[in-house]
Chains A and B, each alone.
Chain A
Amino acid sequence: MELYVPILVLAVLAAGFAVFSVAIAPITGPRRWNRAKLDAYECGIEPTPQPVGGGRFPLKYMITAMLFIVFDIEIIFLYPWAVAFDQLGVFGLVEMVLFIVTVLVAYAYVWRRKGLDWD
């Protein structure tokens, strides 16, 4: 049980900090009205207009973010292989090429379907 005491202490500290930060902000912070505060939050830029009457709305950011995640994960898998590729030999190379080709197929689909065009 003693083994877990540091973890518990850390958890209590983390939870305490989170609760304290949220609780203290409305008490001490200034309140100034600003139109931008009522807008949808889109990474700090001008928000995309809302569709009126239930139209379609663009998913540009989501597609970009999804592509980012796909390549992010690809890189994460490349790291361990890069560290040990001399030990994995030809097998590792072939498997990695297969993996990258599979990801590229998805990329080709997005590209051909104009997922990369901004407008």
Chain B
Amino acid sequence: MNGIQPPTIEYGQLMPLLLVFGAAIVGVLIEAFAPRYLRKAIHVPLTMLTLLGAFGLVIVQVLRDGVPTAAVAMGAIAVDGPSLFIWGVILVLSVVSVLLINDDDNFVASAAAVPGSPDEEEAIARGGAHTEVYPLALFAIGGMMLFAASNDLLIMFVGLEVMSLPLYLLCGLARRRRLLSQESSVKYFLLGAFSSAFFLYGMAMIYGYAGTVDLGGINDALGRVGGQDTLLYLGTALLGVGLFFKIGAAPFQAWKPDVYQGAPTPITALMASGTLVAAFGAVLRVFWVALGNLDWDWRPVMWGIAILTMIVGAILAITQTDIKRMLAYSSIAHAGFLLTGVIATGEATQNANSLSALLFYLLAYGITTVGAFAVVTMVRDAGGEAGHLSRWAGLGKRSPALAGIFAFFLLAFAGIPLTSGFFGKYAVFAAAVAGGALPLVVVGVVSSAIAAFFYVRVIVLMFFSEPAADGPTIAVPSAGTAAVVALAAAATVVLGVYPQPVFDLADAAASSLFVR
């Protein structure tokens, strides 16, 4: 009796993932054994080197071995072209976000202390700090990478949880406005757990239909299994709910403004960029790889969701008075724009075009988002970040450079030419038109116009209103924050003026599509 074969695991291809997870575990050990005053000094280089090292490994792998053509670890994980590109994007965005996290002033001194209590004052006086944010962020980043590269629904669920659980915690660690932060953490946790349950239930249904959780296997079963369509449709719908929650598509978007507002701004930056990228990777895998031959059935529903998401995001953003909530609604609208690309499937070349456009969009949007939230961390008044839009009035007169950069980020969100947002939107919408989704593109352009209104309104507010007498001050940025703003602005310009190299890279990553 020798029935069990040990599985083969391609450690070489999984190295970036293993490095991030390994460093996260080392981070926990540092928390356990290093003296308090040394922890941060160890964590920051460790985290940065890990992320840069993993990014280097991704590049080395592409240069040395090219794009792998088969799934690894017994078909559980697919390190294919799109995965490698998405890993690269997630790692770049994480490096930038960790530079922001590194700024001391954003995290609570003692998370367990009741807000406003003597305990909390004592913790602040003692200079307490939760250096756990670094290993937690590493776990979340590793989870994002796994989520986007999973080739099997079970691994995808593990990735989803590894990504989400640290984020739930991190959301509750804002230094100021503790109650709002705790509220966001609880809301995100409860709704996130709920959506995970939907995902699991959908997975069970699909397994009941196909007899496998392997994405390629599900696709094979589509043509083979008959008479179980109810299971398949229910499973698809439930899986969709779980995934659409993570990207914040309407009608599952309600958590996004609350969580983005309450979470510490560097964590918001990580969530708004990295999580969105990872979740779109997973959406593409489920709907293109596993359910690709079912596109006639899911496409009408996805049309509705995309239209609703774009409109809800654009219209509700107008009524917002808080800068972080406004950016959250803007992120919802962008999720809708991205969904038009997910819908635009067809022939292999059409799929490759859509995929390449989506990859470019994700990179362009992610980097601009981190930059915008970095600026938000710098505009402060006595109570911490000046979130209310009225406090931003006249910022352009006090601090023209910073307000100018922020205005530039907003224009990139709006998709004005010469910014990265223009080419991202253009590529996705062009792919959608080619894929026969012209009405969607019309809705997309109209909601872009609506969205442009509230972006421009903030710009007008910053440059053409009188500054308030007791207006917020611009904090002198730490080197990290300044570097983030500069990097994001540079990337937004370069991708907006000379996007061709990145387009070529995205084309190359997308050309072989997903492995099965």
Chain B contacts of A105 at CB under 8 A?
25, 28-29, 32
Interface residues of B in 391-440 (CB under 8 A from A): none
Whether A56 sits at the interface, judged by CB under 8 Å, is: yes
A113 to B132, CA, bound (A): 12
Chain B contacts of A84 at CB under 8 A?
4
Minimal Cβ-Cβ distance residue in B for A111: B32
Whether B319 sits at the interface, judged by CB under 8 Å, is: no
In the complex the two chains form, is B117's CB within 8 Å of A54's CB?
A: yes
A78 to B6, CA, bound (A): 16
In the complex the two chains form, is B29's CB within 8 Å of A91's CB?
A: no
Whether A88 sits at the interface, judged by CB under 8 Å, is: yes
Known A-B contacts A54-B117, A56-B119; A108 and B2 likewise in contact (beta carbons under 8 Å): no
Whether B113 sits at the interface, judged by CB under 8 Å, is: yes
In the complex the two chains form, is B114's CB within 8 Å of A55's CB?
A: yes
Whether A89 sits at the interface, judged by CB under 8 Å, is: yes
A88 to B2, CA, bound (A): 9
Known A-B contacts A89-B6, A91-B6; A56 and B32 likewise in contact (beta carbons under 8 Å): no
In the complex the two chains form, is A56's CB within 8 Å of B3's CB?
A: no
A54 to B6, CA, bound (A): 54
CB 8 Å contact bits of B1-30 with A (1 = contact, 0 = none): 111101100000000000000000100110
Q: Interface residue count for B (Cβ, 8 Å)?
A: 17
Give the shortest distance, in Å, between B113 (CB) and chain A (any CB): 7
Chain B contacts of A56 at CB under 8 A?
112-114, 117, 119
CB 8 Å contact bits of A86-119 with B (1 = contact, 0 = none): 0111011000000000100110110111000000
Known A-B contacts A54-B117, A92-B6, A112-B33; A87 and B112 likewise in contact (beta carbons under 8 Å): no
Chain A contacts of B31 at CB under 8 A?
109, 112-113
In the complex the two chains form, is A109's CB within 8 Å of B2's CB?
A: no
Q: Which of B1, B112, B114 contacts A54 (CB 8 A)?
A: B114
- In the complex, which range does the number of interface residues on chain A fall in? 10 to 19
Known A-B contacts A54-B117, A56-B112, A56-B119; A109 and B28 likewise in contact (beta carbons under 8 Å): yes
A118 to B2, CA, bound (A): 48
A91 to B4, CA, bound (A): 11
In the complex the two chains form, is B32's CB within 8 Å of A112's CB?
A: yes
Main secondary structure of the interface of A (DSSP, over half): helix
Minimal Cβ-Cβ distance residue in B for A94: B6
In the complex the two chains form, is A88's CB within 8 Å of B4's CB?
A: yes
In the complex the two chains form, is A87's CB within 8 Å of B32's CB?
A: no
A54 to B3, CA, bound (A): 59
Minimal Cβ-Cβ distance residue in B for A102: B25
Minimal Cβ-Cβ distance residue in B for A106: B28
CB 8 Å contact bits of B101-123 with A (1 = contact, 0 = none): 00000000000111001010000
Chain B contacts of A111 at CB under 8 A?
32
CB 8 Å contact bits of B272-299 with A (1 = contact, 0 = none): 0000000000000000000000000000
Give the shortest distance, in Å, between A96 (CB) and chain B (any CB): 12
Give the shortest distance, in Å, between A98 (CB) and chain B (any CB): 10
A92 to B29, CA, bound (A): 25
Give the shortest distance, in Å, between B15 (CB) and chain A (any CB): 16
Chain A contacts of B29 at CB under 8 A?
105, 108-109
Q: Which of A87, A89, A91, A102 contacts B3 (CB 8 A)?
A: A87
Give the shortest distance, in Å, between B111 (CB) and chain A (any CB): 12
A111 to B33, CA, bound (A): 10
Give the shortest distance, in Å, between B231 (CB) and chain A (any CB): 15
CB 8 Å contact bits of A55-95 with B (1 = contact, 0 = none): 11000000000000000000000000000100111011000
Minimal Cβ-Cβ distance residue in B for A92: B6
Known A-B contacts A54-B117, A55-B117, A105-B25; A88 and B32 likewise in contact (beta carbons under 8 Å): no
Chain B contacts of A108 at CB under 8 A?
28-29, 32-33
Give the shortest distance, in Å, between A84 (CB) and chain B (any CB): 6
A92 to B4, CA, bound (A): 11
Chain A contacts of B6 at CB under 8 A?
88-89, 91-92
A105 to B32, CA, bound (A): 9
Chain B contacts of A55 at CB under 8 A?
114, 117
Q: Which of A89, A91, A102, A113 contacts B32 (CB 8 A)?
A: A113
CB 8 Å contact bits of B143-159 with A (1 = contact, 0 = none): 00000000000000000
CB 8 Å contact bits of B81-112 with A (1 = contact, 0 = none): 00000000000000000000000000000001
Give the shortest distance, in Å, between A73 (CB) and chain B (any CB): 14
A91 to B28, CA, bound (A): 26
A113 to B112, CA, bound (A): 14
Give the shortest distance, in Å, between A35 (CB) and chain B (any CB): 29
Minimal Cβ-Cβ distance residue in A for B119: A56
Chain A contacts of B25 at CB under 8 A?
102, 105
In the complex the two chains form, is B117's CB within 8 Å of A87's CB?
A: no
Chain A contacts of B113 at CB under 8 A?
56
Chain B contacts of A113 at CB under 8 A?
31-32
Minimal Cβ-Cβ distance residue in B for A113: B32
10 A-B residue pairs with Cβ-Cβ distance under 8 Å, sorted by A, are A56-B114, A56-B119, A87-B4, A88-B4, A102-B25, A108-B33, A109-B29, A109-B31, A112-B31, A113-B32
Taking A56-B117, A108-B33 as known contacts, 9 extra A-B pairs with beta carbons closer than 8 A to each other, sorted by chain A number, are A56-B112, A56-B113, A84-B4, A87-B3, A88-B4, A89-B6, A102-B25, A111-B32, A112-B32
| Closest A-B pairs by Cβ, 7 of them | A91-B6, A112-B32, A87-B4, A109-B32, A108-B32, A109-B28, A105-B28
